[in-house]
Structure 1
């Protein structure tokens, strides 16, 4: 017998039943709809801390639904923040929670149509009824989600277009990304910036993972762990996991293992998702070639707070290209914009960038980049110093390169001084680097360029450090004048630091060598330094003798500015010896000399005015002292010299007590204490 023909002709939609004969009723039904409410969000990780400001911001942005974009570097805890916020508000989403990772482990984006298919099926759409095309799936997703109280978490979004089609019509969407999803922001989404954890929340995370007792037993090591991890939760979690796996090992041992920069990223990475290196590698691999080159170069920059001008000098690039590159690195969450025109790399990002340049660039190329950076900072410091202390000489053996460009901050005293202050650590680090790379002349000139800032702000430890570096550099050059200049500076820094014995030793050796060479100016510098040591020790008679001999030599050499400076010191010593009339005469002479200079020296003129006011006050001349001290205070405030300003306030406090105004005296004393408390001597 031949098989019956099992064919259907025409267009048919829906179920079809073919039978030779049917007895009874036939019931046709479609697939049973899914009634389970999707709950795809995982439990928030333990140890969550330090995100109060971000949670408040999310409350504001998502009060009535909408889209929040959590942007920050890889491993900063964006997903943990999103899960924590969504978990505490689960009752707001009775229609379910959806979650999708939008990037593959390779960094490639997940196709949005694949995620839409998963979401539609989770929302109860039968698999057979899920359309095959992106447009159809998008339209159905919008229809299904209309009127729903949903929460959708889109993790690691690669593009705005990818995230946009996955945003439901109703409900709340949280997108995490390390990229600038400008298309989402233009469409009404609001950004929540997620930065590394501050110290205390980072320690709280460690305590949650390690236990409070273990952290309390080694507080210094725990603090070092936080510093090495740079506040990145992913790094902190890996460090904690390593410590948990070795409960009998100290945290100090783990810190020692992480102290090597080249090994640090591997030490903060594990197999699987918890890998600082793979997180940064993925971000780096996403960059085009020109941005990778800029990123590697910035890994050689020794400090925070670099601008497009120095980035342009390092490669070199046009400044506009450097600016665009820095903005692109910010968009990729590999750099942070501190302020307009100022950027930095997170500590672990800097370690990663430095590792990349060590792996991919030759030593000659790296040295060229560092040298150009050092020269740029040297000439930038000179430009600032000409504004901050125009009377002070500039030491520079290399002309300013024509292709360097400069920030617009060197036209006035306050911004120029702020620039020097903000780049103090960078200048000091570059001095060390130049000496390490056997560029002694450059190291010497960088150390010298730091002096105006160190004079005004009295960073005493840095003054000693920079002078020691400068002295080593000067000795390497074989330049006796440079060596003596730095030795004198080191001795005076040691006086201010309280190491009088070492200062005296340097000064005596400098005096002997100067006299042997017949160097009268060097002799004067050594004598003045010995006077400063004596003044600090309270040997006032010896101080007066040394300052007087110094002044005589400088007067014979026609060094008017230097003579004026030592007369300020002489007047101070005479005031303390109660020789008030002589102190007034010397202070007046100092003020006259310094005021008549061709290049203005307002800082030292103010010092002369202050000591003149002090001498009048000591003699009882209240009416003469007040205007002088107030004039000096105004100048010190304008020049940003907190230490000298505090001294003027204390003298005005003495004056107020002399006339019985105790309230005014307390006010001046309080101002002096606040000024001194804000500085690191």
Structure 2
């Protein structure tokens, strides 16, 4: 279990005195990322103007009804495939809303980010689903198979609808499908997924001409825009009958109500001819994107370009302000402009999302064309600094000592049990880290590319505890190796020792004990040379844990005793370390404690004898 997390992640800063008076705001910021009690009902909103697809919808209804009639005990799995922009996600979400009245126990949605730089790992998705089901983070197993078993037990005999959106391949989703429950699983992907067991595949084609024209007419204001049938036909054909492309064109037409439709069509046709003559990528969507993009104000266009820097399609108005180096209210105005043109959508709680990964890729292309490398680098540095500061705040919600401080401050406002508040802080922090995982890893890559070792080391230091909670050992190892190399190039012993300890913790979690032991020993040696007795003691404690795992209790006892001896008597650090030892291995601690008691008695005897001798001499 992740709760058996006894090693110290040492590259961690406590709560600075400068922010002690702002802990209420920090607690609220973390709790804002909590998944609510209604988290078992997480379908994104349906499109009110969804049009067509009646044939495909009926095919799936028939399939599900057949499964119900046959009383199948396994999940009904349906893969919805098709090219980019054809509307797979929109179709799956619309279908899920049509089905949800039959699946009242849970309606779960997960974006797997299959087209992103860092797709979600199955183990992380299982952890996310378990947390939504109400399982405490400390009770979630570390292994993917155990997580699936636990999720399976939670779903047993439950009517559950699960949407796995934007899958990269079969391997990503295979371990996410419940084996024995009354559920329907909808998966969307650009790939066929035909190798999945017992999966029904529905390939979603482009819209038929009649449905494409119906969608276009539904999206524009027909009372103010007179769109002749032949023009509508030409428009949808130039959009290749793709819903995404049609939606972008319609929003641009709506934006220019004062311009005759014939002029708008000529403008769009020129873009269409230009894109196809130059054989540019994403030719089925690019003309519509450019048609929309040209309607934007300079500030909103720049915001869209800069959003292309991010690894994730979702963002907040705060990030928009950071990217633009603008006031929050101004950023909100430009965000609203992008919403009006259907380039981004609101997803609630001050969060937004670029409507499609193709739009984000095209925006990134405009960034390369219109922004200098120096301006792009400045934007990256602003975003990196924001993630560094916000990551530190969220880290306080994970660290046991600091989250207790924050929980006690928050308790004054909420009057909830401290333990409950601490659990909320853990969940809120984990939700933030998980949602921002790709962006955080990208920010680390930026620091490497910019040859900025100080920023790299600081960023990586914020991630160790999150990787520990999420059991993301691969990312843990990769980021810490990068930071360790940077620290060695700087020749700075303290971050080297910190990172060695953290990397050793990662190896210990994976059972790579020889590598962990060597790094712990090197870290202890460096701390001793630096005179960092507290950090030396904590790393000795970690090494003792390693020996406990290999049943070398005498070696463990020596490490723990050395750790205690490093620290001043009656110090808070010594007391806390002793508590940790008692929790991890009570029997071993008892032996060390008895030795300590014997030593204390001997010291007391010598002190008494010394006092008597002194009185005798004084007399």
Q: TM-score, normalised by structure 2?
A: 0.49
Larger of the two Rg values belongs to structure: 1
* Structure showing greater relative contact order (alpha-carbon pairs closer than 8 Å, 6 or more residues apart): 2
Q: TM-score, normalised by structure 1?
A: 0.45
